[in-house]
């Protein structure tokens, strides 16, 4: 996901270079992968609307979710194995 920028001039089409970031506006809208906090603050002070997340933030969030999902899946597998082992022990009369 990228940062979406909406110009205060809804029909603006052109390129702006701000703080090392190049913004290509088409009909008042631009999209950029990464927008630093100082540049974002500057744009907001000038009346631009900013939405979305930096690509790096979105990737970090996706990586964290994948790690959490993998951990939950491993726990579920371990719990299922423990339940199966307990059932097998009970079926064997408590002797394995």
3-state secondary structure 28-67: CEEEECCCCHHHHHHHHHCCCEEECCCHHHHHHHHHHHHH
CA-to-CA distance for 5 and 53, rounded, in angstroms? 11
Report which of 34, 39, 3 is spatially closest to residue 19, judged by C-alpha positions: 39
Residue with tokens 């630093």: 36
Output the pLDDT for position 93.
74
Residue 25's pLDDT band, with cuts at 50, 70 and 90, is very high
Rounded to two decimals, the pTM is 0.56
Mean pLDDT of the chain: 85
Output the pLDDT for position 62.
62
pLDDT greater than 80 at residue 61: no
Residue 14's pLDDT band, with cuts at 50, 70 and 90, is very high
Each domain of the chain, given as residue ranges in start order, spans 3-52
């Amino acid at each position: 996901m990228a940062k979406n920028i909406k110009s205060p001039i809804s029909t603006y089409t052109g390129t702006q270079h701000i703080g090392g970031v190049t913004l290509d506006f088409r009909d008042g809208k631009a999209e950029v992968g990464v927008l630093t906090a100082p540049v974002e603050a500057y744009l907001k002070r000038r009346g631009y609307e900013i939405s979305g997340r930096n690509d790096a933030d979105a990737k970090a969030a996706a990586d964290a979710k994948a790690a959490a999902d993998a951990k939950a899946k491993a726990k579920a597998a371990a719990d299922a194995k423990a339940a199966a082992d307990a059932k097998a022990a009970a079926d064997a009369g408590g002797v394995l």
